């Protein structure tokens, strides 16, 4: 199958191989990875290697802490303001897509939200270039890549306040100045492993400044003190994330991922722009290199296109249920040959129906 799913998504074949071997016999110890205790040296080594690989790939120093947490990126929508924003304070948020809007909704439960910019007027099909960030804002939050709408920030927003980013769908896809950020979070199931765990990277100095009492399990400081072992972590999901990070490093790190990201996206968009029955949805300059959204000229053509994809073993081509249309996700583990196969199908489809 050609897997264009948006998440959970394609993983490297060797990661799947190694993960399945470990389900039967982890590191030749005679136990399954599903059976080992989370406080054993076996698992503590998995966790520590994973966290140090995240730091290494991101070029982060000792002022940062890496956490592996439960609850998906969606829990971070709430956990970020709970830990960083007091009731009488303001945080700035960019309103550029469905995920960002959900983050805004949660932040409003904890303090004031100032909308720094919005692309709502055009159904989030572009990235605004002008932002207004109050000087007193506790932080600026944005979604680096809008998975559903197919747009991506190709620049870092200017702000004199700490930056917080949801990088769920483009983390590790290219070299990036991660150290400009105070908090980064990403559900692992798009570009960094399997579902069930969220990577959270925190500059420790931003914590401990709110007045409210934070429930134990939601206070980042407790997770830092417990080294991500406050309670039983999702052992298997963290193990798959470790295998994925090892694979990224072995293939050449983020430099190589960036090269491949551009190769895939260039091939896809060049093909798309040459066709007459399919067309892109997002503004060209803001197009996502990970999730490409597009439309067929008519609803009938969309149906026919999805049918042809299905017949050719291509899955995950339907757009998100909230916006419709078509979408293909091209994460790190997607081989260029899969994008080539899709592009060949698109060209044939276009010749047949244009
Ligand atoms: C998928 C996604 C989410 C939601 O992740 P969950 O792990 O399902 O909570 C949030 N933000 C972005 C940018 C995403 O792509």
Residue 263 lies in a domain: yes
pTM over the 0.85 mark:
yes
- What are the tens digits of pLDDT across the range 69-128? 999 999 999 999 999 999 999 999 999 999 999 999 999 999 999 999 999 999 999 999
Q: How far is CA 327 from the centre of its chain?
A: 16
Mean pLDDT of 223-230: 97
Give the whole-number percent of the chain exceeding pLDDT 70.
Answer: 100
Residue 205 lies in a domain: yes
- Which of 199, 234, 251 corresponds to the end of one domain? 251
Query: Measured between alpha carbons, how far is 91 from 161 in angstroms, rounded to an integer?
Result: 10
Instruction: Report pLDDT for 211.
Output: 97
Instruction: Report pLDDT for 347.
Output: 98
Distance from the CA of 73 to the center of ligand 1, in angstroms? 5
Angle between helix 253-273 and helix 235-251 axes, rounded to 10 deg: 80
Mean pLDDT of 140-144: 98
74 lines ligand 1 (CB under 6 A): yes
Instruction: Report pLDDT for 267.
Output: 98
Instruction: Report pLDDT for 326.
Output: 98
Residue 146 lies in a domain: yes
212 and 92 within one domain: yes
Choice among 51, 95, 166, 219 that is catalytic = 166
72 lines ligand 1 (CB under 6 A): yes
49 and 150 within one domain: yes
How sure is the predictor about 324, in pLDDT bands with cuts at 50, 70 and 90?
Answer: very high
259 and 221 within one domain: no
Q: Positive or negative CA dihedral for 123, 127, 128, 134?
A: positive
Give the whole-number percent of the chain exceeding pLDDT 90.
Answer: 99
Mean pLDDT of 182-202: 97
66 and 188 within one domain: yes
Residue 8 lies in a domain: no
- Which of 251, 275, 294 corresponds to the end of one domain? 251
Q: Where are the alpha helices (DSSP H) in the chain?
A: 13-24, 41-58, 72-84, 98-107, 220-225, 235-251, 253-273, 299-311, 336-353
170 lines ligand 1 (CB under 6 A): no
- Which of 229, 251, 273 corresponds to the end of one domain? 251
Residue 270 lies in a domain: yes
164 and 298 within one domain: no
**Maximum CA extent, the chain:** 64
211 and 164 within one domain: yes
Residue 159, domain CATH: 3.40.640.10
316 and 188 within one domain: no
- Residue with the smallest CA separation from ligand 1 atom 8 is 72
Tokens of 222: 């407790």
- Give me the half-sphere count of Cα atoms (radius 13 Å) on the Cβ side of residue 127: 19
Choice among 190, 203, 281, 318 that is catalytic = 190
282 and 325 within one domain: yes
Residue 175 lies in a domain: yes
104 and 227 within one domain: yes
Q: Which ligand 1 atom minimizes the distance to the CA of 74?
A: 9
187 lines ligand 1 (CB under 6 A): yes
Instruction: Report pLDDT for 221.
Output: 98
99 lines ligand 1 (CB under 6 A): yes
How sure is the predictor about 36, in pLDDT bands with cuts at 50, 70 and 90?
Answer: very high
Tally of domains within the chain: 2
Q: Number of H helices and number of E strands within the chain?
A: 9, 14
Domain that holds residue 57: 13-251
Contacts of 138 (CB under 8 A, 6+ apart): 84, 85, 86, 89, 90, 91, 111, 161, 162
- What are the tens digits of pLDDT across the range 249-303? 999 999 999 999 999 999 999 999 999 999 999 999 999 999 999 999 999 999 9
Residue 329, domain CATH: 3.90.1150.10
Instruction: Report pLDDT for 288.
Output: 98
């Amino acid at each position: 199958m050609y897997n264009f799913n948006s998440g959970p998504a394609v993983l490297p074949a060797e990661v799947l191989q190694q993960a399945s071997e470990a389900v039967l016999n982890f590191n030749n110890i005679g136990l399954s990875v599903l059976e080992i205790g989370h406080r054993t040296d076996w698992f503590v080594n998995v966790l520590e290697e994973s966290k140090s690989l995240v730091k290494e790939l991101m070029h982060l120093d000792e002022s940062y802490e890496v956490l592996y947490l439960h609850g998906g990126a969606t829990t971070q929508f709430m956990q970020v303001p709970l830990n960083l924003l007091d009731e009488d304070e303001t945080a700035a948020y960019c309103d550029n897509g469905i995920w960002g809007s959900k983050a805004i909704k949660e932040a409003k439960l904890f303090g004031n939200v100032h909308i720094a910019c919005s692309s709502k007027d055009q159904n989030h099909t572009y990235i605004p270039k002008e932002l207004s960030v109050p000087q007193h804002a506790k932080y600026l939050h944005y979604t680096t890549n809008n998975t559903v709408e197919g747009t991506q920030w190709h620049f870092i927003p200017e702000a004199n306040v700490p930056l917080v980013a949801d990088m769920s769908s483009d983390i590790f896809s290219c070299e990036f100045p991660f150290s400009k950020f105070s908090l980064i979070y990403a559900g692992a199931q798009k570009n960094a492993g399997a579902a069930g765990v969220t990577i959270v990277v925190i500059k420790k100095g931003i914590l401990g400044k709110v007045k409210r009492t934070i429930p134990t399990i939601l206070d980042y400081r407790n997770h830092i003190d417990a080294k991500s072992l406050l309670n039983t972590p999702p052992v298997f999901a963290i193990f798959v994330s470790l295998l994925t990070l090892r694979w990224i490093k072995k293939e050449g790190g983020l430099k190589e991922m960036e090269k491949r990201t551009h190769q895939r996206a260039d091939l896809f968009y060049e093909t798309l722009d040459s066709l007459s029955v399919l067309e892109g949805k997002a503004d060209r300059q803001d197009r996502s290199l990970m999730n490409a959204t597009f439309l067929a000229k008519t609803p009938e053509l969309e149906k026919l296109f999805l049918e042809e994809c299905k017949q050719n073993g291509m899955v995950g081509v339907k757009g998100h249920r909230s916006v419709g249309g078509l979408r293909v996700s091209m994460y790190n583990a997607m081989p260029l040959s899969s994008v080539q196969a899709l592009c060949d199908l698109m060209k044939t489809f276009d010749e047949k129906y244009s």
